[in-house]
Chains A and B, each alone.
Chain A
């Protein structure tokens, strides 16, 4: 008599199962994978429940078919995932706001500790050098005409030389 080998057995318990097969063999046989969201709601209903639903007119979901319930359940599942995404975004916004706040606080601290200097002396000197220009019209007007004539002749000579060069 041949020895029984595991590989030769036809029992299902030793048969390796694929992932989809394992999902089918889940403890919740009605767990339908709908775009990654496992429907927690029981979309099936008993005949007894159907009768009670038909009898009660106050429940707005009484006339919902099993298909519409499935869609509603999927919608609720997507709502949950939306909430998670919304929370993560809100958290990122909060962290961004905190970062901005910290940056502003740091800038304020930096501004408080920074000494602002304004060089009035340098500014005055630069303005004075502008206005103390010997060849400014205002300064030239204070000089006698003869001096202006001499300056005119000398500057004109220099200009001629610069044009020749």
Chain B
């Protein structure tokens, strides 16, 4: 098995794992990786978890998930959010981010994504 396939499986296992520690592992190792591909896969896994903690990482944190400097990573994260069946949690997190004292860029991105979700529903 190729290394990238092993990494895919590890990320998928951490995504399915019920232990809350899996989120911190994905955040520490995956979203801080210098490889775009790994950050992209990690962000998608955190969104698929669909928990408030995992969604906060990709929505509220600067430079991660929808706020990533790489357009590829940010767009694939937004696409994954739009593809969620249950968007209740993500809408809550987006609202929370918009009303928080985060950076203006982070707030603007959250507002844009929320507008996208509203129009796509």
**Bind each other:** yes
A residues at B contact (CB < 8 Å): 133, 135-137, 140-141, 143-146, 148-149, 151-153, 155-156, 158-160, 162-163
Whether A149 pairs with B3 at a CB distance below 8 angstroms is no
Q: Once bound together, how far apart are the Cα atoms of A156 and B33, in whole Å? A: 9
Taking CB atoms, residues of chain A closer than 8 Å to B10 are 135, 140, 148, 151-152, 155
Stretch at the interface among B13-21, B71-79, B86-94: B13-21
Taking CB atoms, residues of chain B closer than 8 Å to A137 are 9, 12-13, 16
Task: Give how many B residues have a beta carbon under 8 Å from the other chain's beta carbons.
Answer: 25
A-B CB pair tally, cutoff 8 Å: 65
Whether A156 pairs with B29 at a CB distance below 8 angstroms is yes
Q: Once bound together, how far apart are the Cα atoms of A163 and B38, in whole Å? A: 13
Knowing A135-B6, A159-B3, say if A152 contacts B35 (CB, 8 Å). no
Taking CB atoms, residues of chain A closer than 8 Å to B11 are 152
Q: Once bound together, how far apart are the Cα atoms of A159 and B11, in whole Å? A: 14
Q: Once bound together, how far apart are the Cα atoms of A146 and B22, in whole Å? A: 8
Residue B25 interfacial (CB < 8 Å): yes
Whether A135 pairs with B35 at a CB distance below 8 angstroms is no
Say how far A23's CB is from chain B's closest CB, in angstroms.
Answer: 90
